[in-house]
């Protein structure tokens, strides 16, 4: 027999909050959705759909620019982040949502000329941060994506 107490989840759930049984992915720090690992476009689109507010629009545009720049790009979601590569086993760019910006990680970014603006503690990576109200230099992004896709990717 199960006995309800004042500490049970059913009784302690705040008013107006969705239940843990909803189909919506859990949002992690910065609004990054917790999406199961998966290969292909479907998990990436599920990730995008689960993003909050302005981040959804930014990541949707970034995804479209990557697909336009690199025909045949392969996609996956790993570690709650969309990854883009050429062979499905190595990756040249990843997207991760932070509280105040969307981070594009160019895994061989230190080999790009010019390099993306934000340094990394890892040996080869560089980042581009896209904020809510900052204009995105789409031409520069496309050039980086094309150049990065021509380099050997990172195995992850």
Per-residue pLDDT reduced to its tens digit, 48-107: 999 999 999 999 999 999 999 999 999 999 999 999 999 989 999 999 999 999 999 999
Q: Work out the end-to-end distance of the chain between its first and last CA atoms, rounded to an integer number of angstroms.
A: 47
Residues 6+ apart with CB under 8 A from 15: none
Residues 6+ apart with CB under 8 A from 51: 31, 33, 59, 97
Return the domain boundaries, the chain: 25-155
Beta strands in 7-136 (DSSP E): 38-39, 74-78, 81-85, 90-91, 93-97, 101-106, 118-119, 126-131
**107-133: per-residue pLDDT in tens?**
999 999 999 999 999 999 999 999 999
Q: Omega of the bond prior to 114 within 30 degrees of 0, cis? A: yes
Please give the model's pTM, rounded to 2 decimal places: 0.82
> For 25-155, CATH number?
3.90.1150.200
């Amino acid at each position: 027999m199960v006995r309800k107490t004042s500490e049970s989840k059913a009784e302690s759930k705040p008013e107006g909050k969705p239940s843990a049984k909803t189909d919506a992915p859990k949002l992690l720090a910065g609004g990054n959705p917790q999406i199961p690992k998966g290969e292909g476009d479907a998990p990436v689109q599920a990730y995008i759909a689960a993003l909050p507010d302005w981040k959804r629009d930014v990541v949707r545009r970034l995804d479209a620019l990557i697909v336009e720049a690199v025909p045949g790009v392969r996609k996956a979601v790993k570690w709650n982040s969309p990854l883009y590569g050429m062979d499905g086993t190595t990756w040249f760019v990843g997207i991760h949502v932070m509280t105040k910006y969307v981070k594009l990680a160019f895994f061989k970014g230190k080999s790009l000329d010019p390099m993306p603006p934000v340094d990394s503690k890892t040996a080869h990576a560089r980042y581009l941060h896209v904020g809510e109200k900052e204009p995105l230099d789409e031409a520069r992004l496309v050039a980086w994506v094309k150049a990065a896709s021509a380099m050997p990717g990172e195995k992850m």
